[in-house]
Amino acid sequence: MGQTIAEKILAAKSGQARLAPGEIVDAYPDLVMSHTATWRSVSVMKRIGATRLYDPDRLAIVLDHVSPAKTEKYAKDQQTSRNFAREHGIRKFYDVDAGIAHLVLMENGHIKPGDLVVGTDSHCTIYGALGALGTGIGYTEVTSVWVTGKLWMKVPTTIKFVLNGRFGTGVSAKDLMLYLIGKLGADGCGYKSAEFQGDAMPDMSISERMTVANLAMEMGAKCVFVPPDARTAAYLRERLEHFENYQPVLADPDATYEQEVTVALSELEPMVACPHQVENTKPIGEVVGTRIDQAFLGSCANGKYEDLEIAARILAGKRIDPRVRLLVTPGSKRILLEAMKSGVLQTLIESGALVTNPGCSACAGDGGMMADGEVSLSTANRNFLGRMGSNKSSIYLSSPATLAASAIKGAIADPREFM
Amino acid sequence: MSAMGQPISGRVYKFGDNVNSDIIIAGRYLIYIDPEELAKHAFEMLGEGFPAKLREYPILVAGRNFGCGSAREQAATAIKGLGIKAVVAASFARTFYRNAINDGLTIVECPELYTAVQEGDQVDIDLAKGRITHAGREYSFPQIPPSVRKILELGGLANYLKANTSTSA
């Protein structure tokens, strides 16, 4: 009987020939990522009296959630993280200028197919865009992996998503994922792996695959996979230090899936997640006209270059509604540079956008906080109560195209009107 | 401290489905890791009375997917800081499940109890026997895997690491 990608990767990382769902193994991750939370893991290390790391080259540290430091406390915590990285010779250390950890690690060739990656962030599932098993853990467990090199993992069952056809105009990976989260619910993939296959996949850009793998976390996925293909290889050829070791891990044709979900992409329309749960999704038609005070274009879900470009295409030559604050946060320094060179940044600024430095920004409450009664439209992945400020404010989630159209109108708008 | 020894008894506070970790502890408080400090702000997004009223209940009961969303470990720490001894839910989000074990917070999966129980009801949890008693009825629940239970028994992962890791340089 064949195996899924999750089964194969967990078997390889725990020294087993094969594994079945439900088995518990000690697995050795290739990479353990910690972001702004790093100081907490350092404090645990001190508390347990550990001084040595299992392998410093398996650590990646990116200071992204609050960048630069907004208070003295943040400054002190970042100093702790920096000192730790220096002391232990962590080569994959990125400071507050780099951007969002997930994007930075992928852009810089630290993630490859078949890798097991854990980190202090639920959206580690995004690494599945490149065929790696990524999953979130807490900061104490990060310390444990730093020191012991391993952690216990349960082999998940897998849901197969079959995506067929092409997106219609104004519809993108974000709309697909909001549709799926609404359909399956916030725990539709709970404790499970999700594999995305189908004839739509070869055409899907790496940027869109990242959106897919990122958002699948919002239906509870433990890990997500877009099976590596020619696009994956092309993306990694220019990034991996040793591309000659590139070896995709694919599911066997006779692998066992718990469930199969088929989606015809051409039938999808722009979707919006309404307050205060991501699963509370509606087709755009049902929310058009909802007034917004703030529009946030950014995050690991949709702060990539392609996302900025899509918004810029809609905003080019237009002005946003004067009642709207449009915040644009490029996901990483590389994205910022690319958007600068291509003119995307200028287009956005001329339309009325406030462009911030790369990082998690408003999605993590680092700037862009909202007052009582205010409404934000956001391209991020969460709209939980109070996540962007007051517990009397509300957050809607959409694609970059819907966000750009809505910023112009001052209310949630259908992007197809502008295309 | 043995988390598995004494039965846990008391009145329950009841939540619904999909209580996310942003609700349990907002991102702005992740600058803390101390349970007492975190507990002061636990569930405060839910408005007036929180978190104070939760201090009266030693057991939380919730629906599906408790602790979903962010992987922030402080969600488990904050609940522990409130003095809550156990969380019984129809199901847990996997990051919360791990974080609870790693923080030494007892968690029990029991969808039947969630359906049966009302806020303020008395509930008795016997971890060793895998049994909950409520209103004269008994409910069984799956035990945490034995290899993982050791972490909980020692009061969390930091204690476990201290006891099991050779830390000399």
pLDDT of residue B4: 58
Q: How many whole angstroms separate alpha carbon A410 and alpha carbon A402?
A: 12
Domain chopping of chain A, boundaries: 5-237+253-263, 273-418
pLDDT in tens, B12-66: 999 999 999 999 999 999 999 999 999 999 999 999 899 999 999 999 999 999 9
AA letter at A1: M
Q: 């250390």: which residue's tokens?
A: A93
Q: Which fold has domain B8-164?
A: Aconitase; domain 4 (3.20.19)
Q: How many whole angstroms separate alpha carbon A338 and alpha carbon A344?
A: 8
State yes or no: cis peptide before A276, omega within 30 of 0. Answer: yes
pLDDT in tens, A239-271: 999 999 899 999 999 999 999 999 999 999 999
**Residue, of A347 and B1, whose pLDDT is higher:** A347
Spell out where A287-335 has E strands: 294-297, 325-328
Choose the closest CB to B95 out of A37, A49, A122: A122
pLDDT in tens, A209-220: 999 999 999 999
Chain B residues closer than 8 Å to A120 by CB: 71
Q: How many whole angstroms separate alpha carbon B96 and alpha carbon A16?
A: 27
Quick one: pLDDT band at residue A30, thresholds 50, 70, 90?
Answer: very high
pTM, two decimal places: 0.97
Q: Is beta strand B8-14 parallel, antiparallel or unpaired with respect to B122-126? A: antiparallel
**Residue, of B153 and B121, whose pLDDT is higher:** B121
Question: A3 with A252: CB under 8 angstroms?
Answer: yes
In B, residues 86-125, which contact A (CB 8 Å cutoff)? 91, 93-95, 98-99, 102-103
Q: Which of A121, A140, A214 to mutate to test the interface with B (most CBs of B within 10 A)?
A: A140
Query: What tokens does A141 get?
Result: 């467990």
Burial class (CB in 10 A: 0-12, 13-18, 19+), B162: middle
Query: What tokens does A318 get?
Result: 């237009």
Q: Does A143 touch chain B (CB under 8 A)?
A: yes
**Residue, of A47 and B5, whose pLDDT is higher:** A47
State yes or no: cis peptide before A68, omega within 30 of 0. Answer: yes
Residue A303 has pLDDT above 70, yes or no: yes
Q: Tell me, what DSSP letter sits at residue A241?
A: T
Asked: is A273-418 a CATH 3.30.499.10 domain? The reply is: yes
> Class assignment of domain A5-237+253-263?
alpha beta
Whether the ipTM is more than 0.90: the answer is yes
Choose the closest CB to B158 out of A24, A44, A136: A44
pLDDT of residue B166: 59
AA letter at A340: M
Test A190 with B69 for CB contact under 8 angstroms: no
